[in-house]
Structure 1
Amino acid sequence: MEGVPKDLENSQRVDAQALNVDSGNINKLDYGKPSAHAVDKDSWEQVGVMMVTGFNCAYVLSFSNLMLVPLGWYWGITCLIIIGAFTYYANWLLAGFHIIDGRRFIRYRDLMGYVFGRRLYYITWILQFMTLLLGNMGFILLGGRALKEINSEFSSSTIRLQVFIVITGFVYFVFAFLVPTMSAMRNWLATSAVLTITYEVILLVILFKDGKRNDVVRDYKIHGSKADKVFNAFGAIAAILVCNTSGLLPEIQSTLRKPAVINMRKALVLQYTIGLSIYYGVSIVGYWAYGSSVSEYLPSELSGPKWAKVVINSVAFLQSIVSQHMFCAPIHEALDTKFLRLDEKMFSKDNLLRRLVLRWMVFGVNTFVTALFPFMGDFVNLFGSFTLFPLTFIFPSMVFLKIKGKGSKGVEKAWHWSNIIVFSLLSVITTAAAIRLIINNARIYHFFADT
């Protein structure tokens, strides 16, 4: 693969000393603080299943609308393939930088700070935590939507979306308190996998049934003005990126047993084969079944039966409890490492009280903001554009040039420089598209809107 260091591509085992910073100007401050969470514990199979179920979460119920409606069939499928392939490559490359100068980096910001200095440390910290916080708000919103759909099947009373958002935030808080770390999710992954298979199989059966109806005229045209089409297309590109990556690969990799680089790449193969085929499949079939009128939340579009819609929403909600934890765990890790007593066990009396306060603070703020701005899609497009483009594509190429630049070929340098330039431009354009979407929604909706 072009631009990949040969010693990482050809060897079966990565030498911890193979990657070294080749610049005398490196800021080698200590960015390797000990973690309050478990490190070096998990198998690649466990991490692979966690990633497959994590990305096949309730978000897939909105991807038909977010990814394919603005692009149509040709550009939609093309972008799905290209962005999926590039994202896999970028994560594969980043996984190889887990060990530099014989040091293992368990946090993305630590890696960037060690290689580039304090400024990139804080930039990475801000981008990554913005991604995780906005993503968690999106999960809370989707969970609230699922509960509201269930309520609508049994009652004609109009309970506001905000009530279900608060319920969702509370349930997520309880789970995060009882299952404090990413490694602790191991006992829940089998349940999450069963729930994922259950709701996605039922969903696909109904989608195929609805798609075969002859009494429905489906429109696959891209609607809107020329400006709308352009901005919405770039917003869709950001959404495709969101469904493929998380911006927290080093944190996930930190839980793996040695050799961490090889094991992380095995887990990535699982995600980008089995995992990708499922969430891409649901997105494509959803668009095929309903065309450009497909809802931003698929279960609200389904023809029935009633029990199936209830099961899909119920199981999607339950599965999201587990999957959202993977995306929020680095925030919990940072707070726990800062405020818990590291010389005591995670479930000691003092640490239990501290963790209760920390989790309540995170989910209290996130739940309130979600209830205030319940605009589906905005969360996905914004953190996919402004934060995930740098974290996924730009920063790994920057690290490569810093570490392997002097000894690399001209083609490799050109490849990584082109990645930095192209994806920087895409980040700016897609961020502008996301901001435009937010402005448009602000004109339509109001604070605490019952969407």
Structure 2
Amino acid sequence: MGTHVADNYPPAKDGRSAQEKAIDDWLPITSSRNAKWWYSAFHNVTAMVGAGVLSLPYAMSELGWGPGIAVLILSWIITLYTLWQMVEMHEMVPGKRFDRYHELGQHAFGEKLGLWIVVPQQLVVEVGVNIVYMVTGGKSLKKFHDVLCEGHGCKNIKLTYFIMIFASVHFVLSQLPNFNSISGVSLAAAVMSLSYSTIAWGASVDKGKVADVDYHLRATTSTGKVFGFFSALGDVAFAYAGHNVVLEIQATIPSTPEKPSKKPMWKGVVVAYIIVALCYFPVALVGYWAFGNHVDDNILITLSRPKWLIALANMMVVIHVIGSYQIYAMPVFDMIETVLVKKLRFPPGLTLRLIARTLYVAFTMFIAITFPFFGGLLGFFGGFAFAPTTYFLPCIMWLAIYKPRRFSLSWFTNWICIILGVMLMILSPIGGLRQIIIDAKTYKFYS
């Protein structure tokens, strides 16, 4: 699946045949390279500030004040560091660009092993996020409908139908060819994420502390506290998960030896991370301050007044997850189309795209309708796949490629991130899986 020559390098360095070049110009990740630094900013905000932000007060109620704040800050610092590593590694080989996460993996670990290490994890993350966003989109649409219908005697509509309505938008949007073509959707999504985060903490401040606010851990038994703690770690990991698409976003920025893509990309990432902090910290801390351990796994569900504002916030979540779904689906489309065109020799074109992408959207919709356990899914996916690709895989690649001196600052930093990331990967799925089992006991399929 090789790497691609950076734009504007002399043609002599391009070892691709005319046919390969035509395929690369057609594939969604490499077809357009004229993005500006601010594209990187809002694509990263859309990828990062997911619906996960709304579950942060709930995570705080399972962690408590001290550990909760520590986990939030640590995650922000570690993930910014690993994101910097990815941006740096995008063009570390002169004349080449690692346009996809797995291409960097192949460079670090070898052709075969690199694919096996990165692709399964990346797919679990991207497909997992798409499924969770189908559930979130459907739940937020349902909440929007229920809030507006309150007291008007509307008929109760099943969540299944709302997930289908949400999916119908994606059957259309998924036909947009590449990252640059979804930049309008992504910008709208980034603005929405900042808006609904502000509504979430603003409405909490307005409401003030509830009368019998309790800051003890949510669970009452020791077992419950431990598992809750693990699950909350997964929720936080899920909230910082933009790394899976960062190289693919950087691939859309033009690059020359004088002006490498990492400069505008990093500028965009820093702006995105400031916005991430403005969204995450107030929502997590103010939400927990106001409701203590009575907060729901989605803060907007806890806030039921003022009615119009909560309805508006839920609609904003819907618009945001529409953009986020597309950002995470694009690398998956790229993988599917690469396999179909390069391995199975299908002719690239509109028909292939229409069938492949429609089937993918239908698949994520079906899984979302079947298993809509929002909180448990976050904890499970968060630990299982987000921890490696976000917290420690970039560090392992850095150690493998740059080989920093033993016991140097870089060596220590990377090993600390790897140890914390591995602990996160082992502990949080345990909590998430237990939550899914508890939810499943009372759940009726397709209700």
Q: Which TM bucket (shorter chain)?
A: 0.7 to 0.9
2:427 is aligned with 1:429: yes
Cα deviation, residue 403, structure 1: 1.8
2:301 is aligned with 1:300: yes
Q: Deviations over 1:259-278 (max 9, x none)?
A: 22222222221122122221
Q: What amino acid does structure 1 have at the position aligned with 2:442?
A: I
| Contact preservation (8 Å) 2:44, 2:246 | no
2:416 is aligned with 1:438: no
For the structure 1 residues 401 and 255, does the alpha-carbon distance in structure 2 shift closer, same or farther, using more than 3 Å as the test? same
Instruction: Determine the C-alpha separation between the residues in 2 that align with 1:386 and 1:192.
Output: 26
Cα deviation, residue 173, structure 1: 2.3
Q: Deviations over 1:371-398 (max 9, x none)?
A: 1111012222122211122212322222
Q: Deviations over 1:288-333 (max 9, x none)?
A: 2211111122222223222222212122212321222112211011
Q: Mean alpha-carbon deviation: is it higher for 375-384 or for 55-64?
A: 55-64
Instruction: Determine the C-alpha separation between the residues in 1 that align with 2:384 and 2:283.
Output: 26
Instruction: Determine the C-alpha separation between the residues in 2 that align with 1:189 and 1:111.
Output: 25
For the structure 1 residues 371 and 252, does the alpha-carbon distance in structure 2 shift closer, same or farther, using more than 3 Å as the test? same
Q: Deviations over 1:220-248 (max 9, x none)?
A: 11023212212221221222122122323
Cα deviation, residue 91, structure 1: 1.2
Cα deviation, residue 156, structure 1: 4.0
1:228 alignment counterpart? 224
| Contact preservation (8 Å) 1:241, 1:388 | yes
Secondary structure at 1:221 match in 2: coil
1:105 alignment counterpart? 98
Map residues 32-431 of structure 1 onto 2, 5 A cutoff.
34=24, 36-37=27-28, 38-65=31-58, 67-102=59-94, 103-117=96-110, 118-153=112-147, 154=149, 155-177=153-175, 179-212=176-209, 216-222=211-217, 223-246=219-242, 247-258=244-255, 259-339=260-340, 351-405=349-403, 408-411=405-408, 412-431=410-429
Aligned length: 408
| Contact preservation (8 Å) 1:55, 1:279 | no
TM-score normalized with structure 2 length: 0.84
Secondary structure at 1:419 match in 2: helix
Q: What amino acid does structure 2 have at the position aligned with 1:139?
A: Y
| Contact preservation (8 Å) 1:87, 1:241 | no
Q: Deviations over 1:105-136 (max 9, x none)?
A: 11111111122121231221000001011111
| Contact preservation (8 Å) 2:53, 2:197 | no
Instruction: Determine the C-alpha separation between the residues in 2 that align with 1:204 and 1:404.
Output: 42
For the structure 1 residues 161 and 120, does the alpha-carbon distance in structure 2 shift closer, same or farther, using more than 3 Å as the test? same
Instruction: Determine the C-alpha separation between the residues in 2 that align with 1:270 and 1:94.
Output: 16
User: What percentage of aligned pairs have identical amino acids?
Assistant: 27
Secondary structure at 1:410 match in 2: coil
Instruction: Determine the C-alpha separation between the residues in 1 that align with 2:179 and 2:188.
Output: 15
For the structure 1 residues 151 and 127, does the alpha-carbon distance in structure 2 shift closer, same or farther, using more than 3 Å as the test? same
Q: Deviations over 1:162-189 (max 9, x none)?
A: 1111111121222222x33222122334
Q: Please, which runs of 5 or more residues in structure 1 have no aligned partner? A: 1-15, 17-29, 342-347
Q: Mean alpha-carbon deviation: is it higher for 104-113 or for 249-258?
A: 249-258
Cα deviation, residue 139, structure 1: 0.7
For the structure 1 residues 250 and 54, does the alpha-carbon distance in structure 2 shift closer, same or farther, using more than 3 Å as the test? closer
Detail structure 1 runs of 4+ shifted over 4 Å in the superposition.
none
